[in-house]
Chains A and B, each alone.
Chain A
Amino acid sequence: MHEMAITQSVLDAIVARLGEAPVTCVRLEIGRLSGVVPDSVRFCFDVLCAGTSLEGARLDIAEPAGRARCRDCGGEFTLDDFILLCPCGSADVSVLAGRELRIASVEVGHV
């Protein structure tokens, strides 16, 4: 399950940035085309945060939808899955959004 490795990367990046500061909330962006399942990340998050400076932190996950632009007709359309097909029939499309796998921000409590 790669969500475990993904979630560990989130924790590592936050601790690298903030040290031992107590974290109260983590905001992530996990695009619908990213290949990462938010519910699995939620599960891993609680498991991995136990006993760290992130213990008890809230996890907010935004899930941006997939969007693509067609190189043939220039149109923009939503992508619900990874089928790279413009309504005009062309498969020559570039993905604009939906692949995000980002840490947006973190809230740190006062001590």
Chain B
Amino acid sequence: MCDTCGCSDSAVRITDHTHTVVMEQDILAKNDELAEHNRAHLRASDVFAINLMSSPGAGKTTLLERTIRALGVPCAVIEGDQETLLDAERIKATGAPVVQINTGAGCHLDAAMLHRALHALAPARGSTLFIENVGNLVCPALFDLGEAARVVILSVTEGPGKPVKYPHMFAATDLVLLNKVDLLPYVDFDVAEFERDVRRVNPSAALLQVSATRGDGLTDWYDWLRRPARS
């Protein structure tokens, strides 16, 4: 017997020189637990939380500015950004409550960051909460925040093959928004091929084409946000 590692624990096997401690534990268990805590908070206060993800510059903030003004439902925003307050200030101008999380070197939000932000923001009962994740198509996909739905935005200026190159992001989303469709006449982007690529990694996600600046497709986006399934 030895005290260093809790030998009395039945999961500990003792050999001559070492103890093997069987852990069988998910690496992200702590994040996932906290995400469930967030999810329970959000559900209890009837807040519909959306984790909004894209590469940098796909149009997340532009879409949010417009959505908040048009949706007709109380909105609140949590802005994840590596350094600046710029996006939060743009949101503040719409009148919606906003909290900024600066991740510094971190390239994604995690459930602990969202938890702190939720307590700081305390979104109103019945509101829609948009969480603008850090612009990045890789890391945010791995971290459950406790959201009710995930939305991935891709813009037509980003070129082909993204769903297949970043399958985790596209596989785990509920809705894919193809943004900047007003630029389709000027760029070489094959919408049908894009939709086929999305289907290859995610057969069930909803797909909408929008322009956050010109307004194309936004009625469908608002309908999706108000869908009854949100409860």
Q: CB within 8 Å of B: which residues of A? A: 1-2, 5-6, 9-10, 12-14, 17-19, 21-22, 24-25, 28, 35-36, 81-85, 91-92, 101-111
Contacts and interface: CB of A to CB of B under 8 A. Distances in A.
Nearest to B14: A110
B18 A82 contact: no
A82 B171 contact: yes
A106 B157 CA distance: 47
Contact of A22 (B4, B22, B31): B4
Contacts of B203: 84, 91-92
Given A21-B4, A84-B200, A108 B21 contact: yes
21 contacts: A9-B28, A9-B30, A12-B30, A17-B23, A21-B4, A22-B4, A25-B18, A82-B164, A82-B168, A82-B171, A91-B199, A91-B203, A92-B203, A101-B26, A102-B25, A103-B25, A105-B23, A108-B4, A108-B21, A109-B18, A110-B2
Interface residues of B, number: 37
- The A contact surface, by secondary structure, is mixed
- Nearest 9 A/B pairs, CB to CB: A82-B167, A2-B139, A21-B4, A35-B168, A91-B203, A108-B5, A103-B23, A21-B5, A108-B19
A25 B225 CA distance: 48
B88 to A, nearest CB: 23
A9 B31 contact: yes
A83 B164 contact: yes
Given A17-B23, A103-B25, A110-B17, A81 B167 contact: yes
B108 interface: yes
Given A9-B31, A13-B23, A21-B5, A82 B201 contact: yes
Nearest to B136: A2
A110 B18 contact: yes
Contacts of A5: 106, 108, 110, 139, 143
A1 to B, nearest CB: 7
Contacts of B4: 18-19, 21-22, 108, 110-111
Nearest to B15: A107
Contact of B200 (A6, A10, A85): A85
